Amino acid sequence: MSDYVAISRDGLWNKNPALVQLLGLCPLLAVTGSVVNALGLGLATMLVLTGSNIVVSLVRHRVTDVIRLPAFVLIIAAFTTCTELVMKAFTFELYQILGIFIPLIVTNCTILGRAEAFASKNPVIPAAVDGFMMALGFGLVLLALGAIREILGYGTIFADMDLLFGPIAANWEIDLLHIESGLLIAVLPPGAFLVAGFLIALKNIIDGRIEKKRLAASEPLVAGSKRVRTTGNIS
């Protein structure tokens, strides 16, 4: 059980694909102009990553080293195309907005990376959990970026959610800032880089705090034993 906790912690925080491994940045930066786009891409990535991890883990004993990469890419591409078709069928307008970034999920290094580094060496269930948690970590960063950029750029949050959830979501939009036109740069590509940079910085600050606390907690022991050695100039 603690294995799964460790896997989850890796996916969500310690090895977060977007904030630590810095993988899959192309879709991350390109489609996070709003929450609905971010959520759409996040869910699609989750479907592909979890699915491909499961299948890669299932076939891991059958695949020889030589054909490993083409076979994994084939699996990932098949999952991506299925996801694309399903999105086209059920969330057509969102599919039109996300456009090329859905087929481009194939080239998201996170997915091949997890297939290589984890799924091909682990049983099915841990591989599935790893895929899901990595995708969740990636998706949460997408959502955070989408939300921040939407608030700064348009002054709203959850606009156009009906593209994903149907007519019931039509009035989920909340106008937070009541502005005519927001901070333009937040919606443009440079805004994506800036917000992503701040998110990474925030994560590092939090990590630093945690580290400090950990050190502080263990300080008496360490400091005490060291003081004896370094300050003992009796001669």
Residues in the site for other proteins, rule: CB under 8 A? 33, 62-64, 66-67, 70-71, 74-75, 77-78, 81-82, 85-86, 88-90, 92-93, 96, 153-154, 160, 180-182, 184, 187-188
Measured in whole angstroms, the distance separating CA 133 from the mean position of its chain's CA atoms is 9
| Min dist. Cβ of residue 102 to other proteins (A) | 13
At 59 the three-state DSSP class reads coil
| Min dist. Cβ of residue 112 to other proteins (A) | 15
Residues whose CB is less than 8 angstroms from the CB of residue 40 and which lie 6 or more positions away in sequence, other chains included: 31, 87, 91, 94, 97, 98, 163, 164
Which residue number, 21 or 45, has a Cβ lying nearer to other proteins? 45
| Min dist. Cβ of residue 45 to other proteins (A) | 18
| Min dist. Cβ of residue 118 to other proteins (A) | 20
Which 8-state DSSP code applies to residue 156?
Answer: E
CA distances from 150 to 24, 36, 51, 53, 70 (A): 21, 10, 30, 32, 38
Which residue number, 130 or 160, has a Cβ lying nearer to other proteins? 160
Which residue number, 129 or 145, has a Cβ lying nearer to other proteins? 145
Which residue number, 63 or 199, has a Cβ lying nearer to other proteins? 63
Which residue number, 112 or 129, has a Cβ lying nearer to other proteins? 112
Which 8-state DSSP code applies to residue 157?
Answer: E
Which residue number, 82 or 177, has a Cβ lying nearer to other proteins? 82
Provide the H-helix boundaries in the chain: 2-9, 25-30, 35-58, 68-90, 92-98, 109-117, 124-154, 162-165, 184-187, 189-217, 219-230
Which 8-state DSSP code applies to residue 207?
Answer: H
Residues whose CB is less than 8 angstroms from the CB of residue 174 and which lie 6 or more positions away in sequence, other chains included: 156, 157, 158
Amino acid residing at 34? S
| Min dist. Cβ of residue 208 to other proteins (A) | 35
CA distances from 209 to 9, 151, 167, 200 (A): 17, 28, 44, 14
Tokens 């997890």: give the residue. 114
| Min dist. Cβ of residue 210 to other proteins (A) | 37
| Min dist. Cβ of residue 204 to other proteins (A) | 30
Which residue number, 23 or 196, has a Cβ lying nearer to other proteins? 196
